Structures are given as structure tokens and as C-alpha cells.
Structure 1
Amino acid sequence: MTTALHWMPWGERFELGEGLRYWAGRLLMVDILSGRLLELPQDQGGPAHVVTSLDEPLGAVAPLADGGWIAAAGTGIALLGTGGAVRWLARPEDRSGPRMRMNDGVADPAGRFWAGSMAYDNTPGAGSLYRVDLDGSVSRVLDGLTVPNGPAFDAAGETMYLADSARGVIYRFAVDPVSGELGERSEVAPVQGASPDGMTVDAQGYLWSAIWGAGQVHRYAPDGSLDRVVPVPATQPTSVCLTGDRLVVTSATIGLARPGTLDGAVLAAPLTLSGVQAHPALVRVD
């Protein structure tokens, strides 16, 4: 089913806007290549507020329960203090081989933080998925990825969805909610001629994915069937967020020779549907 919505943009355009999160009534996103964490105004009438910024690419953040943020940034994982302090937990991609950066990430219901990495030149198989446990330890839990996006978790934390955008596929993993260990992997759905990007799960257990290159958002049923296609007036949607009364989508201009009017915009459309609650990271480091 195709669902047409009435989209309205925020004013600013982004080269690589990503990582939408709705947290404590705030709508947050990152502009990856500029290293900025941004808060979007609720009325869509003004510019985004810069919450914090880094001198390195900022792939994604999750709020920390005690304040500040945990971030997939540069070549690793960092804690960002409310006063601008940066504490690196690990830089696992600061190594020989293709030049790497961190990409998308999210906190799961247990408070662990998960984030993927990728090569700047999209070297096949160079990317990995990392898990940050509650004690701050960082582990590589999956390798052989090219452009990982997501992950997204169901409400129980027992299922994780992860897209490999370059390969046009979304995977589903069983997760042990206590240990965070990954179990069986299956393929949810291939995406033909485009790339699944940022994702979220709604309150009904359905998966939503931005579809880069197609100007669409897809909604998948728990059995993997395509439930809904939502056209978006931007060629490269990058992430999706459900606030309860709106569907919000980021997009990017990077790689477009002639960006259209709404390419790179953050777009919102009325939609009465809640997402799975965003979770803070419960990572604590002495």
C-alpha cells in the first residue's frame, strides 16, 4: 500500500543529516560530516540549535542517563559531557587499512549502546558493529559489513534490525536481552534499486526504514512483508522518527549533482502513531 502524506520542511538543508531521536520532548539529529548534534525547533520555523559539536564526524548519539551523550564519532565511541568535555572509550577503527568512520547507532532497552562503522570509500566488508556494555567496555560483535545503518530494537530488546545499506538488505537478529549476545540472523527484506538506511520500530512492532535513493520510507510487518510505502519529496532520506503525532525524516544532499528543492531537508508529516520509546544509555565509567 502507498500512503501519501503532507510534508513540511524545516528551514535548514544538510549535507548528511541523520540519526533522528525523540527524547524527553526534544527532537534531535546529527549532521554527520560537520560533527554537530542539533535540536530541531518544535514549530519548524527557525534554525536548528547546536547542542554540541566535535572536530570529527558525528555518526549518532544516545542520551546518557546521568546527562550528556554517548556518541559514535570519528573512529570510535566517546562520552560527551554537558560542558563540551569529550572522553573516548575506544577508537577501534583507528587502524591500518581503508580510512574509516563511525556511522549510525542507538541504545537498546537494557541501556547498552550499539554502533556501526564504515569506510569512507565504502570498501566492501570493511565495516563492523560494536556494542558498548554498561561498564563502558567496547566489543566488536559483527564484522564483514559495508555500510551498517540502524540498528533498531523492538520494545523487549529481544530483536535487533540492522541494515547493510550498500548491499540493499535489512537483517533481523535475535538478541539475548540480558547479555546482549547476538543469536540467529535472518533477512527481513531485500530492497531493489535503492538502499535501506536509518530505521525505527513503532508501537505495533512494525519496522520503518528510510530508503536512500528512492525517495521513500518503507514500513515492514514483523514477518518481513512490505506493509506500506510512503513517498518522500527528497531523493536520499536517511533516518526516520515517530513522535506520536508526526513522522519525521532527515535527508542528504551528498553525492547529488543537482539537489532538488527539498533534498537535504528535515521533513515532517502528520501521522498518529507512536514509536518504541527511545532509551538512554546506562553506561557508567569510573
Structure 2
Amino acid sequence: MKTSDALLWSPAGLELGEGPRWVDGRLVLVDILSGTLLEADGPHPGDLRPTNRLEIPLGAVAPVAGQPGRWIAAAGTGVALLDPGGVLTWLGRPVGDGPIPRRMNDGVCDPAGRFWAGCMAWDGHPGAGALYRTGTQGQLEQVLDGLSIPNGPAFSTDGTIMYLADSAQGLVLRFPVDPTSGDLGDPVTFVVTHDGSPDGMTVDVAGNLWVAVWGAGEVRRYSPQGRHDRTVRVPAPQPTAPCLGGPDGTRLYVTTARYGLPPKTYGHSGGIFVAEVDMPGIPAAAYGGVLPDAG
């Protein structure tokens, strides 16, 4: 197994950095609890620029096809269109009711243009999480329940496989997907971690799954057969998500978090790290649906 080290790319100082995406030659990510969307130019390290700040948590975004600067967002208690001026147009807020306070968390688009996003209880209450799918007609549906802290998902390049982490359970599930309908088949357990929690994930062009392991200070690569064949060590204990990008797609960007750490132990936690790898990723998939005008 190959092991390498990630280097600090930007100090950033994020509380809960997540959801990095390589979009149109730049790195885009969120700081969840501050509700902030940020970006940085291309391969060059430097200060992140906030492009939107919301009054609610911002779990993840994906670009909207053909509409530069617009995003579909897992935010607060639902899914919304986020326009360049920060206006949210809600497609649905399904997690606002119920006895356990919940918020949206990680999310991504599949190759067919559907947006998938999970929710979790604010206190991580077991079984309170769920996974939602936003179809290309804007319809928002719950497709899984009984999760605790869903992260990801990540899709194979042809959209026939979905990986979904339940961080609190220390496992990554693998689902067959009907690429036409988006229907899920029965899952199998793909990865179990015992020394940390699987968090954000991404798939490269060869079908390998890269998994950030919160608490272990690592990003691990698994072959399509589930073999752990590479580790990238991150000098921060709480890596949250990987993203493959850069000029040729072989630069691994890793977001991290300060959340829950004593200030004296922050170090570079909350920064963004980078490592060169041997397999490129693919550009972030865009939402391909028809959305209402912002307002």
C-alpha cells in the first residue's frame, strides 16, 4: 500500500469545512455552520473568498447546468436554489418538523443530474438521519431513512453505483443505482473503519473511492473491489472531504475542521491540504433539472 503526506495549501481557519468541488477551474467549498460558500482560484494557494453567506447552515452545493454562479444547495432544513446574490428559492424543507431538530448535511449530484443530500440530527441522534433525492423536475423525495450521520454520497462515473457513508456507524455502503430512474437497489457494506469515521468521499476516473476519515487524519483510497491501496496522511485530525482537481485532475484537495477541538490543539485544523496523486478525478456533476427563477 502506498502512503504519502498532504501539505497545507490554505490556512483557511474553517470551523467545519466540507463539500469541496472542482468547478470551472476553481475550488469551491462550504463552511457548514457559518453558512458560507467559498472559492479559491485554480491551483494556486491563497486566501479563500466568501461568495455567499447565509443565515442558516450550508451543508453542500452543486452547480446548476448552464447557469454559472447558481447552485443547488442542501441548506438549513431543505434543498434550495441559491443565486449569485444569495437569494434562496426553496424546493422543499422536509426536515424542519418532528421532535428531533435536524439539518441538511453533505450532498452531490449524480451523472444524470439529480441532487442527493442527507440530513442529520443536530446532536447526531442515532437513526434520525435520512437521504433525499431531488429529481430533474425539482421533485424532492426521501429515499432512505434510519441513518445517523450520512455523508457523501459519491457516484461511479456511469452513475450505476452510489457510495454512502454513515459516519456514526463507521461504515460505507455501496448501492446499485438505476441510472435512468435513480432507484436504489439493496446495499452491501463496502468499508468499515475502526479507527475513525468515514466522512466525505469522491470517485476517480478508474472507479476508486477516496474517503476522508475523521479522527484518523487520513484520506484512504479503496479499489472498486474494496481493497485499501493508498493512504494520504493529513496533518490535522479531522479531515472532512476530498476533491480531485487541479490542471490535470490529479491534485487531491482535502478540507478539515476545527469543530469540537480545544483551541490550543487547533494547529492547522480548519485548513485545506493538498497532495499529488496518480489518478485524475472528474469535474463536479451539475444539477440538470428545470428550476424556478430565484426570488
Tell me if TM exceeds 0.5. yes
TM-score by length of 1: 0.97
Task: Give SS of 2:163's match.
Answer: strand
The answer as to whether partners of 1:10 and 1:44 remain within 8 angstroms in 2 is no
Distance (whole Å) between structure 1 residues aligned to residue 92 and residue 266 of structure 2: 39
1:97-246 equivalent positions in 2, closer than 5 A: 97-243=99-245, 244-246=249-251
1:256 aligns with 261
Q: Deviations over 1:166-195 (max 9, x none)?
A: 000000000000000001210001000210
Distance (whole Å) between structure 1 residues aligned to residue 131 and residue 20 of structure 2: 19
1:52 aligns with 52
Task: Give SS of 1:71's match.
Answer: strand
Instruction: Tell me by how many angstroms 1:220 deviates.
Output: 0.6
* Structure 1 outlier segments of 4+, above 4 Å: none
The answer as to whether partners of 1:11 and 1:45 remain within 8 angstroms in 2 is no
Distance (whole Å) between structure 2 residues aligned to residue 220 and residue 6 of structure 1: 18
Instruction: Tell me by how many angstroms 1:276 deviates.
Output: 3.0
RMSD: 1.3
**Contiguous gaps of at least 5 residues in structure 2:** none
Distance (whole Å) between structure 1 residues aligned to residue 110 and residue 6 of structure 2: 31
1:20 aligns with 20
Instruction: Tell me by how many angstroms 1:101 deviates.
Output: 0.4
Instruction: Tell me by how many angstroms 1:231 deviates.
Output: 1.1
Distance (whole Å) between structure 1 residues aligned to residue 233 and residue 6 of structure 2: 10
**Aligned sequence identity (%):** 51
Q: Which moved more, 1:167-176 or 1:226-235?
A: 226-235
TM-score by length of 2: 0.94
Give the letter for the 2:283 counterpart. Answer: Q
The answer as to whether partners of 2:250 and 2:281 remain within 8 angstroms in 1 is no
Distance (whole Å) between structure 1 residues aligned to residue 59 and residue 84 of structure 2: 18
Distance (whole Å) between structure 1 residues aligned to residue 44 and residue 240 of structure 2: 19
Aligned residues: 286
Instruction: Tell me by how many angstroms 1:71 deviates.
Output: 0.2
Distance (whole Å) between structure 1 residues aligned to residue 121 and residue 217 of structure 2: 24
Task: Give SS of 2:4's match.
Answer: coil
Q: Deviations over 1:36-88 (max 9, x none)?
A: 11002335543211121211000000000132000000000000112322100
Distance (whole Å) between structure 1 residues aligned to residue 278 and residue 53 of structure 2: 32
The answer as to whether partners of 2:156 and 2:207 remain within 8 angstroms in 1 is yes
Q: Deviations over 1:183-235 (max 9, x none)?
A: 12100010002100000001111000000000001101111121112211010
Instruction: Tell me by how many angstroms 1:2 deviates.
Output: 4.1
**Contiguous gaps of at least 5 residues in structure 1:** none
Distance (whole Å) between structure 1 residues aligned to residue 60 and residue 10 of structure 2: 20
The answer as to whether partners of 1:41 and 1:49 remain within 8 angstroms in 2 is no
The answer as to whether partners of 1:189 and 1:225 remain within 8 angstroms in 2 is no
The answer as to whether partners of 2:81 and 2:291 remain within 8 angstroms in 1 is no
Give the letter for the 1:179 counterpart. Answer: S
The answer as to whether partners of 2:8 and 2:271 remain within 8 angstroms in 1 is no
The answer as to whether partners of 2:11 and 2:268 remain within 8 angstroms in 1 is no
Give the letter for the 2:272 counterpart. Answer: V
Instruction: Tell me by how many angstroms 1:25 deviates.
Output: 0.7
In structure 2, do the counterparts of structure 1 residues 6 and 115 end up closer, same or farther at CA, with 3 Å as the change threshold? closer
In structure 2, do the counterparts of structure 1 residues 177 and 6 end up closer, same or farther at CA, with 3 Å as the change threshold? closer
Q: Verify: 1:32 aligned to 2:29, yes or no.
A: no
Give the letter for the 1:249 counterpart. Answer: V
In structure 2, do the counterparts of structure 1 residues 190 and 164 end up closer, same or farther at CA, with 3 Å as the change threshold? same
The answer as to whether partners of 2:208 and 2:222 remain within 8 angstroms in 1 is yes
Q: Deviations over 1:234-284 (max 9, x none)?
A: 100000011113111000011112434211111112224211332110121
